[in-house]
Structure 1
Amino acid sequence: MDPVSGDTKETIFDEEVTGEVRKILQPTSENDVKLQELKTFLIDWINHELKQEHIVVKSLEEDLFDGLILHHLLQKIAKVKIEVEEITLSVVNQRRKLGLILDAVSSCMQLEEDHMQWDLNLIHSKDLLATLHLLVALARHFKPDLPLPENVSVEVVVMEPTKTGMKTGKAIEFITRSSEENAAPKKDGFDQLFELNPDKVEDVKQVMLNFVNKQLVNLSLTVTDLDTQFADGVILLLLIGQLEGFFVNLSSFFLTPTSYEDKLHNVSLALELLIDGGILETSVDPSEIVSGDTKPTLRVLYSLLLRHKKTSKPS
């Protein structure tokens, strides 16, 4: 099927920070060579930007937590003036100043709180992971040509309080990706479909629904809405297992996801399985599927449809 014409292991994810979910960097990751390279690169970058102000950073988490250096850095790279005290000694004043600076960051970069990988509490508590995410985001936005070290990832322990105790799990979290993934993706047939033939989108969705429901009949599952029913990753994981002939261990994903993080975990695991199996060749952002974006959801299902057609043909 041509989408334009309408003819018929470790979990890897980039997780948002919330007030309930806590992520702890594994001690073994702190000595990772790539992580150390990124920290050194960011320190050198900040020192270069603030050289004329005679500011020297030696430790990211220790030197940036009170907002002083972030204030100077943001003014330098974003050309914005923030009316805050230069020196703040009390914790209360530090947090107030840091909050204003982070608000300015969000405003300049047009970020929504739910999609930031840092917050005031994490930065002020000297959380290295959150500090790195903040600095990388600043660099990507204001200095897009900066050659940040690529594919830097760390192992984290994710902890989330539940009614019965604490739910924990391990994950691989990327701090930087490859330059190809950060670059604007090349347009494909689905881009053309949505741009040039939006009236045919529903036809393509119906073809995908028919394909999906045919595969899920043995599981007594039915999909009626592609946008919402694939957003939590559960049906997608079951569909992959059904098509590829293997069982996805229930302990590796959330069968009844209740939070954004649970859903992102599931979708990320599904995409990893598709990439490892050579099924999905285009880059798909798991957060877009979680948010109910039709286009990436169709891309993933179409890759499964193509694989199924190829493997179903007699040799």
Structure 2
Amino acid sequence: MDQLAQSGDSQMIFNIETQGEARKLLLPNADNDPKLQELKTFLIDWINDELKQEHIIVQSLEEDLFDGLILHHLLEKIGGPKLEVEEITMSTANQKKKLGVILDEVSRCLQMEETQLKWNVALIHSKNLLATIHLLIALAQHFRPNLPLPADVSIEVIVVEPTKSGMKTGKAIECFTGPREEDAAAKKDALDQLFKMNPERIHDVKQAIVNFVNKQLVNLSLTVIDLDSQFADGVILLLLIGQVEGYFIPLSTFFLCPGAVEDKLHNVNLALDLLMEGGILINPVDPVEIVNRDLKTTLRVLYSLFLKHKNMLKSS
């Protein structure tokens, strides 16, 4: 993981709250990203179209949505229930209380667990653009599934994590939207076809990948038996990437004995970032699915490594 050395990036870091959990920040040049700007404009236009009869006009996602007023109106307009909250809230405490009610209702409507959420009251109220965009996309995809959101929007972000000795910083890829369904269908890989057309061969593929993985990990005295569970915390995946790609991943950049879900997500996110940067993984993968032991997603990641380095099996 890249360490930040730019003074501008460091200044951004010192201006945020770093206690308790990892934080993601936009890079200074994020405003120059055309796909991000397209997504922001699309979401603003969508909200304004939904709320035009109420004469509400949004100009900035960060500045106009943080206090809960517009989120309240938007949720009710697109299909949420009527909420018993104050219309106008001036104090910080009341704004956060209102946001809490709104976001609790969003979680209920979307049927999402807390570990799946990429937003919370503190992030939205602090005008965190990343969290605000994730929240709006989730609402749009649930209540307006036919809305043509801009596809394949992802940006590089700064990740700041509090440690016992201070702060650890690095960079990661933040994915907002994947390919459109028609594009994704055109990009289906051999694994998709296998699950659909030849499910009886999945066991053979799993065994081939297990053999491949164990051959790469023999020098570390590690053995993989269960693909479904042993990759869920990201540790073996990171060690495998280092072995196969031929570089050392500093132990200080990940949790060697992750306990909390957040630690596991950190590890898996780091592994996926390395695979994306190395051109091994073409399409973004949801790290939550790996942590939740989704076999198809785990196989897809391992299969991408297997395909690139399968010749190593023949030559070694």
TM bin, normalised by shorter chain, reads 0.7 to 0.9
> 2-side partners of 1:32 and 1:273: how far apart?
18
Residue deviations 1:85-118, cap 9 Å, x none?
A: 2222222222211111111111111111111111
> 1-side partners of 2:230 and 2:277: how far apart?
19
Aligned letter for 1:121?
Answer: A
Cα gap change, 1:262/1:112 in structure 2, threshold over 3 Å: closer, same or farther? Answer: same
Which residue of the partner structure matches residue 268 of structure 2? Answer: 264
1:130 positional shift? 1.2
Which residue of the partner structure matches residue 247 of structure 1? Answer: 247
Which residue of the partner structure matches residue 136 of structure 1? Answer: 137
1:266 positional shift? 3.0
Which residue of the partner structure matches residue 227 of structure 1? Answer: 228
Cα gap change, 1:76/1:220 in structure 2, threshold over 3 Å: closer, same or farther? Answer: same
Residues 1-315 of structure 1 aligned to structure 2 (within 5 Å): 19-180=20-181, 187-190=192-195, 205-244=206-245, 246-250=246-250, 253-254=253-254, 256=256, 258=258, 259-272=263-276, 276-277=279-280, 284-310=285-311, 312=313
Identity of aligned residues (%): 61
1:225 positional shift? 3.2
Residue deviations 1:63-93, cap 9 Å, x none?
A: 1111111111111112422122222222222
> 2-side partners of 1:160 and 1:309: how far apart?
36
TM-score for the superposition, normalised by structure 2: 0.78
Aligned letter for 1:290?
Answer: V
Residue deviations 1:243-296, cap 9 Å, x none?
A: 45x22443795262631342222331354267x14xx56764332122222332
Instruction: Structure 2 unaligned segments of length 5 or more: list them.
Output: 4-18
Aligned letter for 2:271?
Answer: V
RMSD: 3.2
Cα gap change, 1:270/1:231 in structure 2, threshold over 3 Å: closer, same or farther? Answer: farther
1:58 positional shift? 1.5
3-state SS of 2:177 partner = coil
Cα gap change, 1:132/1:10 in structure 2, threshold over 3 Å: closer, same or farther? Answer: farther
Instruction: Structure 1 unaligned segments of length 5 or more: list them.
Output: 1-8, 12-17
Aligned letter for 1:266?
Answer: L
Higher RCO, 1 or 2 (CA under 8 Å, sep at least 6)? Answer: 1
TM-score for the superposition, normalised by structure 1: 0.78
Which residue of the partner structure matches residue 4 of structure 1? Answer: none
> 1-side partners of 2:227 and 2:236: how far apart?
10
> Any conservation in 2 of the 1:181–1:283 contact (CA below 8 Å)?
no
> Any conservation in 2 of the 1:123–1:130 contact (CA below 8 Å)?
yes
1:131 positional shift? 1.0
Cα gap change, 1:147/1:43 in structure 2, threshold over 3 Å: closer, same or farther? Answer: same
Aligned letter for 1:272?
Answer: M
Aligned letter for 2:276?
Answer: E
1:219 positional shift? 2.6
